[in-house]
């Protein structure tokens, strides 16, 4: 029995892999299946609210491996499993990505605008508050074409963090 084509196989494996990953408290960010010679390469990208380190990747790898072994009829042949965490250049595409990157500097591209930088504040299901040039600005996700975290090599300015933490805000009633 041969296994289904790549896209169809990934679609069949997705619920199995998602369940295994979510059972240990992580999110499935990507599942990709490619042919690599006689074997298939099953690539799984996982993330968590507190980020993902090597120990968590190993834990996810064991969970996914066990789930795939239990459903080996779907793959029908040898495969290599690669479990990893998202890279620093992963685009922020879901509300949970924004929430996990609170206080981080991001580069944002909106349609018909030049790219700009902001620091991530509170995020909800429809948008995020960004600190842009000293001012808080709410941006709806649907207006963002692309956004990625910028790697910073020094601590962010204390003043920026204070603004995002709401320490500067006066009560509306004052």
> How is 63-121 classified by DSSP, letter by letter?
HHHHHHHHTHHHH-S-EEEEEEPPPTT-B--SHHHHHHTTT-EEEEE-TTS--EEEEEE
Distance CA 101, CA 83 (A): 22
Q: From the centroid of its chain, how far is CA 37?
A: 29
Domains plus CATH for the chain?
6-84 (3.30.70.1350), 95-164 (2.30.30.100)
Question: Residue 90: what pLDDT?
Answer: 80
Helix or strand (DSSP H, E) at 150: none
Residues in the chain: 174
Supply the pTM of this predicted model.
0.65
Distance CA 95, CA 31 (A): 19
Average pLDDT per consecutive 10 residues, the chain (174 residues; last block may be shorter) = 66 95 93 89 88 87 94 88 84 91 92 93 95 94 94 83 69 34
Question: Residue 53: what pLDDT?
Answer: 81
Q: Which of 54, 33, 55 lies closest to 43, judged by CA?
A: 33
């Amino acid at each position: 029995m041969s296994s289904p084509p790549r896209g169809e196989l990934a679609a069949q494996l997705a619920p199995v892999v998602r369940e295994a990953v979510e059972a240990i408290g992580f999110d499935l960010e990507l599942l990709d299946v490619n042919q690599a010679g006689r074997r298939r390469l099953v690539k799984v990208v996982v993330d968590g609210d507190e980020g993902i380190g090597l120990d968590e990747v190993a834990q996810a790898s064991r969970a996914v491996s066990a789930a795939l072994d239990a459903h080996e009829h779907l793959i029908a042949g040898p495969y290599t499993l690669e479990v990893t965490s998202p890279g620093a250049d992963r685009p922020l595409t879901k509300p949970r990505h924004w929430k996990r990157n609170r206080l981080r500097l991001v580069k944002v591209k909106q349609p018909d605008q030049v790219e700009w930088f902001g620091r991530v504040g509170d995020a909800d299901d429809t948008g995020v508050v960004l600190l842009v040039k000293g001012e808080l600005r709410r941006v709806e996700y649907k207006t963002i074409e692309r956004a990625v975290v910028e790697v910073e090599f020094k601590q962010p300015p204390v003043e920026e963090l204070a603004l995002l933490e709401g320490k500067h805000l006066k009560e509306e009633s004052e």
